[in-house]
């Protein structure tokens, strides 16, 4: 088995807390200059604790949306898993572990692990084709803002385009 799942979750939560203040750019229109803080919403960290995500109001008149948030590394949109968690699970699966045993190892359940593997494969393929195979996971935080923007557009176009 790879390193313990719980220590991965702790490390990811710590990284996410530290990356909270990344550079701010509206993902809908690219505006970097005029935005104001516009409340918060809560999200669970990977270790089960809650954290606040800052919401911003974009002041570009041409912007198709009025508010946005910047997700710090290692959060992904929509899914509760981080990229590292998805790829970790996929790796275990490719190494021959059954979905049932991965579910047990990660304290999860069969349907969720099956969804995570499918998602990991889709994201991995997309990274290979669209981002030259470069993983932003656990690397320089400077890669994350453009990654999460492109990821949101590629996987959730109805919400983010």
Binding residues for Zn ion (CB under 5 A): 26, 28-29, 31, 58, 60, 63
Q: Min. distance of Cβ 34 from Zn ion in angstroms?
A: 9
Q: What is the DSSP string of 81-145?
A: S-HHHHHHHHHHHHTT--HHHHHHHTT--HHHHHHHHHHHHHHHHHHHHHSTT---TTS-GGGHH
Q: Min. distance of Cβ 63 from Zn ion in angstroms?
A: 3
Q: Min. distance of Cβ 67 from Zn ion in angstroms?
A: 9
Q: Min. distance of Cβ 160 from Zn ion in angstroms?
A: 11
The CA distances from residue 16 to 43, 51, 76, 155, in Å, are 11, 9, 11, 21
- Residue among 15 and 25 whose Cβ is closer to Zn ion: 25
Cross-strand partners of 102: none
**Nearest by Cα to 151 from 141, 161, 142:** 161
Q: Min. distance of Cβ 142 from Zn ion in angstroms?
A: 21
**Nearest by Cα to 82 from 41, 121, 138:** 138
- Residue among 59 and 94 whose Cβ is closer to Zn ion: 59
* CA dihedral sign of residues 139, 141, 30, 57: positive
- Residue among 41 and 132 whose Cβ is closer to Zn ion: 41
């Amino acid at each position: 088995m790879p390193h313990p799942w719980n220590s991965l979750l702790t490390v990811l939560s710590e990284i996410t807390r530290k990356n909270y203040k990344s550079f701010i750019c509206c993902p809908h229109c690219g505006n970097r200059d005029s935005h104001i803080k516009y409340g918060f919403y809560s999200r669970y960290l990977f270790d089960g604790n809650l954290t606040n995500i800052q919401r911003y109001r974009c002041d570009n008149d041409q912007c198709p949306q009025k508010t946005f948030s910047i997700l710090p590394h290692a959060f992904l949109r929509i899914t509760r898993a981080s990229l590292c968690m998805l790829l970790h699970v996929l790796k275990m699966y490719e190494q021959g572990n059954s979905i049932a045993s991965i579910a047990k190892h990660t304290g999860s359940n069969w349907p969720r692990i099956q969804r995570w593997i499918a998602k990991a494969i889709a994201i991995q393929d997309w990274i290979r084709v669209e981002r030259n195979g470069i993983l932003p996971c656990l690397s320089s935080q400077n890669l994350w803002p453009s990654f999460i923007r492109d990821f949101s557009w590629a996987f959730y176009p109805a919400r983010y385009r």
